Amino acid sequence: MLRYIHNVNWEDHVRNEDIRKEVQAKQISVSIRKRRLQWFGHVYRQEEDEDIRKVADLNIGGRRKRGRPKQRWRDTIQSDLKKYGLNRSDIDNRIQWHSLIELGSLQNDHPDRTTAG
């Protein structure tokens, strides 16, 4: 979409990162991660007897299938917390939680991919 708005064609050999830097747009993955952590805080500020909290804390018994396990929401949240350096103990204060998420996104605003050298 940014390429279309700025009339940049693939033949111009301009990288997406360069276009985002020029228009000062963040990567979509950063926005998604921030919203996911905000939703996580919202859910865990609820009382433990609320339905949404029960579902979030639900552990399903049994064995998982062979091979690589599917990524669960809980696993994704754990990696987001680790990436931004957040703790579950910070969730109770909503304003502080949102500030910490914003701070974490500013400190970790580099692309998630690694380049092969």
Residue 100 included in any domain = yes
How many domains are there within the chain? 1
- Identify whether the C-beta of residue 28 lies closer than 8 Å to the C-beta of residue 7: no
Residue 81 included in any domain = yes
What b/e sequence results for 17-36 when a residue is b if at least 16 CB atoms lie within 10 Å of its CB, and e otherwise?
A: eebeeeeeeeeeebeebbee
- The residue with greater pLDDT, 8 or 66, is 66
Residue 49 included in any domain = yes
71-100 pLDDT, tens digit per residue, is 889 899 999 999 999 988 889 999 999 999
Give the structural domain span for 80: 27-58+71-107
Residue 54 included in any domain = yes
Predicted model pTM = 0.71
Q: What is d(CA 75, CA 61) in angstroms, rounded to the nearest whole number?
A: 17
Residue 3 included in any domain = no
Q: What is d(CA 81, CA 33) in angstroms, rounded to the nearest whole number?
A: 10
Q: How many C-beta neighbours within 10 Å does residue 86 have? A: 20
Residue 51 included in any domain = yes
- Which pLDDT value is given to residue 113? 46
Q: Hey, what are 100's tokens? A: 């910490």
- Identify whether the C-beta of residue 73 lies closer than 8 Å to the C-beta of residue 63: no
Residue 2 included in any domain = no
Residue 92 included in any domain = yes
